[in-house]
Amino acid sequence: MNHSTVSNTEVVRLITIPISHYCEKVRWALDLLKIPYVEEQHVPAFHRSVTRKYGGSSVPILVAKSSIFTDSTDILHYLNTISLSGFCLYPEQAELLREVEELEELFDTRLGVDIRNWGYYYRLDNRQTMRKAWCKGTPLFERVGFEIAFPFISAKVRQLYSITAESAAFSLQGIREVFEIVNQRLADDRPYLAGDRLSAADLTFAALAAPVLQPREHPVLVAKIEELPIDMAAVIKELQATVAGNHALRLYREQRQVY
């Protein structure tokens, strides 16, 4: 990309909570499509004053000149139309496109939710862990707010997602079910979930599954597996060893360049 191209190119804004795996999904798409962006990170609870301004509640939110997008899938569809790398996240062929969209929906609505709820069950009360997960790159005011309000924020998040031992067990079952669906799809050694190249389906699976796979190339994940509670580490090792886990880890190794 030469300098005149850069100066004529719009720089979009990405509103995030740093550790959010839905935000990582969009960050990865931006990097892959070589779209310049500025990430604006926020601590949970504080993010709401920003997301409200843009007509949303959750992150990620993408603010572009022409429009604002408040859902990761809508964001990916938009980014696909302004790709600067020549790479497309969605295939043109109708049947393949339907497969990609169905898989993305499955990962967004089941895997992403179950992984967040399962992970928070183990980590939400640990101030040091949550400081690393939530505060990186956020405004000073919010970091100070985190220190003062941590017990309140953590209780609020627990309440928002109804996190209990039972819900964590239920979520783990859901994670294993989605991994099994992916195992089956890849059983004939096909390199990608739909078609013969990386699509929004693969990227979404890998980004949303990252917290239970801990890929080394992930730009934000903070924990070392040895530092995690034993039960958590055992599940991570189990999922890393699956066909689906290997697929996501390979995508991180081979296709997660950070610009």
Residue in 12, 14, 15, 17 binding ligand GSH, rule: CB under 6 A: 17
Cα gap 139→182, rounded to integer Å: 38
- Phi/psi of residue 37, nearest 5 degrees: -150, 160
Q: How far is CA 43 from CA 17, 28, 132, 133, in A?
A: 6, 20, 11, 9
Residue in 15, 41, 43, 72 binding ligand GSH, rule: CB under 6 A: 72
Decide if 201 contacts 103 (C-beta within 8 A).
yes
- Which residue, 73 or 171, has its beta carbon nearer to ligand GSH? 73
Q: Which residue is nearest to ligand GSH (CB)?
A: 58
Q: How far is the CB of 112 from ligand GSH (least distance, A)?
A: 7
Q: How far is the CB of 207 from ligand GSH (least distance, A)?
A: 11
Cα gap 51→156, rounded to integer Å: 17
With CB under 6 A as the rule, give the number of residues binding ligand GSH. Answer: 13
Asked if 59 is part of the footprint of ligand GSH (rule: CB under 6 A), the reply reads: yes
- Which residue, 73 or 252, has its beta carbon nearer to ligand GSH? 73
Q: How far is CA 162 from CA 45, 114, 259, in A?
A: 16, 12, 37
Residue in 71, 101, 125, 217 binding ligand GSH, rule: CB under 6 A: 71
Q: What part of residues 112-151 is at the interface with ligand GSH (CB under 6 A)? A: 116
Q: How far is the CB of 118 from ligand GSH (least distance, A)?
A: 13
Q: How far is CA 146 from CA 22, 139, 140, 222, 223, in A?
A: 22, 11, 10, 18, 19
Q: Which stretch binds ligand GSH (CB under 6 A): 15-23, 34-42, 129-137, 169-177?
A: 15-23
Asked if 22 is part of the footprint of ligand GSH (rule: CB under 6 A), the reply reads: yes
Asked if 31 is part of the footprint of ligand GSH (rule: CB under 6 A), the reply reads: no
Asked if 57 is part of the footprint of ligand GSH (rule: CB under 6 A), the reply reads: yes
- Which residue, 153 or 193, has its beta carbon nearer to ligand GSH? 153
Q: How far is the CB of 172 from ligand GSH (least distance, A)?
A: 18
10 Å Cβ neighbour count for 55? Answer: 9
- Which residue, 16 or 172, has its beta carbon nearer to ligand GSH? 16
Query: Tokens 């959750």 belong to which residue?
Result: 58
**Selection from 65, 67, 11 nearest residue 40 by Cα:** 11
Q: Exposed, middle or buried, 251 (CB in 10 Å: 0-12/13-18/19+)?
A: buried
Asked if 93 is part of the footprint of ligand GSH (rule: CB under 6 A), the reply reads: no
Q: Is 14 helix (H, G, I), strand (E, B) or coil?
A: strand
Q: Under the rule (CB under 6 A), what is the footprint of ligand GSH?
A: 17, 20, 22, 48, 57-60, 71-73, 108, 116
